[in-house]
Amino acid sequence: MLGWQHGGAGLDHPALQPPTAMKAFCSRANPTTGAMEWEEEDEDYDYHQEIARSSYADMLHDKDRNEKYYSGIRAAVCRVKERGQKAIVLDIGTGTGLLSMMAAKAGADFCFAVEVFKPMADVAVKIIDKNGFSNKIKVINKHSTEVTVGPDGDMSCRANILVTELFDTELIGEGALPSYEHAHKYLVQEECEAVPHRATVYAQLVESERMWAWNKLLPIHVSLEGDSDKVIYPTKDMQLCAGSPCVYDIQLNQVNRNHFTALTMVTKMFSVDFSKAVSSSPAQHTVQVQATGSGQAHVLISWWDMEMDPEGSIRCTMAPYWAHPTPNNMQWRDHWMQCVYFLPQKLTVQEGEYLWISAIHDDYSLWYKMQRNSDECKAEVLSDRPLCSCQAHLMCNRQRFGELNDQQRNNAYIKALKTVYSLEISAVSRRVMQKILAANELMGKMIISEKSPEQLTPVDLDNNQISVLIGEPFFTTSLLPWHNLYFWYARTYLAKHLSREFTVLPQSATLLAIAVEFEDLWRIRAPCRECEGFDVNLMDEMIQNSLNFHECHEAEPHPLWEYSCRALTDPCQMLTFDFRHEVPEQSISSSGSMQLLRSGTCHGIVLWMDYSLTNDITVTTGLAKFHSQTGYCEWNPHNKQGVYFLRLEALQGTSTNKQDSIGYSVTFHPKTGELTLDFQQSL
C-alpha cells in the first residue's frame, strides 16, 4: 500500500498606463502538475497583481469608514482655523487621494499626500486633478520616512494636521507605529491634530474547541471493527508547542455563537494617542480581569476601534456583533476584520477568579498571554512571544489543522492498513510525520520516503508492487481547489509500480459549480465610481485594467464560510477526473448552462472539488450543507473555494429571474494542469 502526501505552493488614460512592457522569464512551480516551469511574463506582471489583489475597492465601499474620516477631518480643520492658523495637512498612505481631497474640501490650505506605490501615486495625481484640487494637494511618491521638510524639501513646512490610514486587522501590522513615530519627529508640529485621534485595542477570553482545533494537532480517534478504539496522539513537543506567532484574522461575525463561550467581559487593553509622540519600541500592557464563567481558556479574540476626534464622539469600530454599539446596523468590511490569538496552552479558569491578561507588541505585531499571578507578567517583554518549536506549524496553516482535527472527515479515511509506504518530499513534513509515528509506536509499520513520485524506484518499495494508493489529497502548494489534482499526476508517475488489480483512494474527483448572490463579498470587485462626492472612476478603471491583464478568466480563492451567500442555481457537475486511469493527453471539456432557480443578483460562480474515496464515501472541499428551497449554503470551513466573479459591470447589475441561465465552458488542460473557465449570464 502507498499513502502519499506532499507538504511544503488596455486603457487610454496616461495615469493607467504602466511603463513600456518588456518580457521576463519567471521560474514557477506548477501547483497542479508539480513541474518547475519557465513562463514568459510582462515586466508589469507584479504591478498588475498588486492592483488586482488590492483592497482599495473594499475600502472605498466602506461607507462608515469614509464618513467617519470625513467628519474627523472637517472637525480637525475647524479646530486649527479657530486657533487662527493655516491648516496644513500631511496624509500618509494617501491611496486614491481621498482623504486629502476631503481635507481640501473642508478648507485646508494645503495638503501633502504621501504614497509609496508609484502606480497608485500616479493615479492619485489624476484623480485629484479631475476633482479640481491639484492646486491644493501635492502627491509625494515616497515612503513617509524618506520625506524631507524645508525650502528644497518635499514639504515646505511641517504639517499641523496628520491624517493617516495605515492600519490592518491587527492595527499595527502595516507599520503604523514606526510611521507615526517618524512623522512626529520630523514631519508634523508638536501640537498637531491627528485623524484618527486615537485607537483602542480590546480583547475577550473565550472557550472554543472549534477555534482551538485551528491551533495544533489534537488526538485522532480511530474506530476499528472487532477491536478496541485506538488513538493517534500528537508528539509531546507538539502538545507543549506554543504555536505560531501569527494572528488568525477572520470574519468573527460568521462564527456560530454556539461554537464559543465568553469567559470574561470585553476588556480594554491599551490605547494609542496619534496626536502625540508615538513609540514603536516593544511594550506590554497588562489588565486584571475577573472570569465571568468557568471553562477552558483557549483563545483571546481581539479587535480595535478608532476615535476621529479628541472627545471620542466620532467613532469607527471593528467590534463583532455581540459587542457592537449598533448590532443591527453594522458596516461590512474585509480590509479590517477581527483577530484570534491562541494561548500557548489551554488553561482551566473558574468563575469569579481574577486573571491577568497581557497584550504585548513590537513594532509590527501583537500577541497575548494570560497569567493567574500579576508577578508572572513582569518577565522580559519579548521573551514570551509564541514561537513554534515542533515544526508542525511550519507545515500546516490554520485551515489545515482544522481539517486534520475534523473527526467526521477522518472517519471517511480510516482503513485497516498493515504496511504503508509514504512519500513526503518536504523535509519539514517528513520530520513531523516521523515524530508522530515514533510517538505512536508505528515506526516499523510505515516507511517515509523523501523521493518525489517520479523518482521512486522498485528498490524503494522493496521490489513490491503497490496494491493500494491512498491520498487525501492535500498539498501546501495548492491555492485553488483543482490544484490538488497533483495527486492524479503523482498516481500517473507511479503507474509502473502499481499492481494489476490496484485500488486508488480517492478513486475520482468531481469539479462542481454553483451560481451565487453574495451578501457582501461582491464589493471587493465592484466599481465604486463615486466616494463621498468625489469622482474615483479612474481607480475603478485601473483595477479593471489589471484584472483584464491576467485574471479576467480566473477564479480567486476565498474561505466562503466567512462570507454569506445564497445559491441562485443548484450545484452543477462540471468535470470528473478518474484517478483509476492515468492523466490523459487530451483536454477534458464541458459546456452547457445552469438554470437560475431563484431570483437575485448573480455576482459570481463558486467552484470546488468533491472526492469519491469509494463508490459510497465522498468528502467535499466545498458545499457542506445546501437547502434547495432557500438556496442557503454552508461551506466547508477547512478549505478555500474558488470564486469566479462576473464582470465588474455585472456586479451593479439587475436582478435575475427564473427564466435566466448561466452559460459555462470549462476545460482542463492536462499538459499544463490549467483550468480555463468562462461563465456568461444569459438573459
* CA max distance for the chain: 90
SS (HEC) of 350-366: CCCCEEEEEEEECCCCE
Q: What CA–CA distance (Å, rounded) separates 125 from 536?
A: 12
Q: How far is CA 587 from the centre of its chain?
A: 32
Rounded to a whole number, what is the distance in angstroms from the first to the last CA of the chain?
Answer: 52
Place of cell 481621498: 98
Q: Are 119 and 549 in contact (CB under 8 A)?
A: no
Helix axes 118-130, 98-105, angle to 10 degrees: 30
Instruction: Report how far apart, in Å, the C-alpha atoms of 405 and of each of 215, 270, 401 are.
Output: 10, 35, 6
Q: What CA–CA distance (Å, rounded) separates 54 from 50?
A: 6
Are β-strands 508-518 and 565-567 bridged in parallel, bridged antiparallel, or unpaired? antiparallel
CB neighbour burial string for 156-173, b if at least 16 within 10 angstroms, e if fewer: eebbbbbbbbbbbbbbbb
The dihedrals phi and psi of 468, each to the nearest 5 degrees, come to: -135, 125
Q: Are 111 and 124 in contact (CB under 8 A)?
A: no
Q: What CA–CA distance (Å, rounded) separates 141 from 94?
A: 10
> Residue type at 419?
T
Contacts of 173 (CB under 8 A, 6+ apart): 247, 364, 365
Q: What CA–CA distance (Å, rounded) separates 678 from 152?
A: 54
Which of 331, 344, 339, 359 lies closest to 272 in space, CA to CA?
A: 359
Q: Are 275 and 188 in contact (CB under 8 A)?
A: no
Contacts of 57 (CB under 8 A, 6+ apart): 523, 524, 525, 526, 527, 528, 539, 540, 543
Q: Are 424 and 6 in contact (CB under 8 A)?
A: yes
Q: What CA–CA distance (Å, rounded) separates 253 from 322?
A: 9
- Which residues participate in catalysis according to the annotation? 165, 174
